[in-house]
Structure 1
Amino acid sequence: MRLSVRSNPWQFLKFSAVGGLNTVVDFTVFFLLSSAGLPYMAAQLLSYSCGVGNSYVWNSRFTFKAEGGMKAFVKFIGVNLFTLIITTALLIGSVETAGLPVLPAKAAATLGGLFINYGLSRWWVFSSH
């Protein structure tokens, strides 16, 4: 199975659109919870979890059209945790070591995470093998 974006650009665009929707879900839930007085780290954990849940539903049904059940969901959570670790390391390295401003570093780390997450989701989580 080829993992490049060029092998299935429409699928990658759908994956990216779902990612945009996840960002809206994440930020909306975060804003609502933190505005209601929940500490920001608790709001972050809950809002990020809502984004990941939304991502699984839309990517399994819309992007990859795959039925994976609990096994695929656990893999999906693992991929998202792995991506979170990698993007956090990239962000810290870009800001602390390379001295980049936070927003460009966050954008670069997020873009890198998009490709990592797409590749692993396509190859491992929602694969047909």
Structure 2
Amino acid sequence: MAAARKLRLEHPETQLRPVSSAAQTRTVRSGPEPSRPGLVMAKRIAWHLLGKSHGEVAVPARDSEWWHVALFDRAVVTDPSQEGVKVRQRDRALARKLATEGAKVLLRFRKEAEQVADEYRAALPDLTTTDSWTPRFNKS
């Protein structure tokens, strides 16, 4: 848990801020859940790549779904506890970095998945034996 808390501190959108952070922004509610989320995701990605957005808004916690918040450069989202807000700020450089890393992982997965699956299937009889698991549970 300590490691997870430390990791969260590196991401400003996880920090609870005072409600006054949303004082001058207009509140925008979301519409219904999209019926075709894959298409909505593609549209949001295209908007980000083209640099389009709707500026800064406040969003109630119940309306803070990805398809809604992704429309804005900065969304001040009410925390469900009502004790503060969390600010979701678009960061193009970070998005580009994460997209590059994600693409590399997906390429590696595509390249290695079949081989790893074959290795796992071959090892499965040994992995599921009592002899294989006993040492893991008998550590002192």
Q: Is the TM-score greater than 0.5? A: no
TM-score norm. by structure 2 comes to 0.29
| Structure with a larger share of its residues in strand | 2
TM-score norm. by structure 1 comes to 0.31
Greater radius of gyration (CA): 2
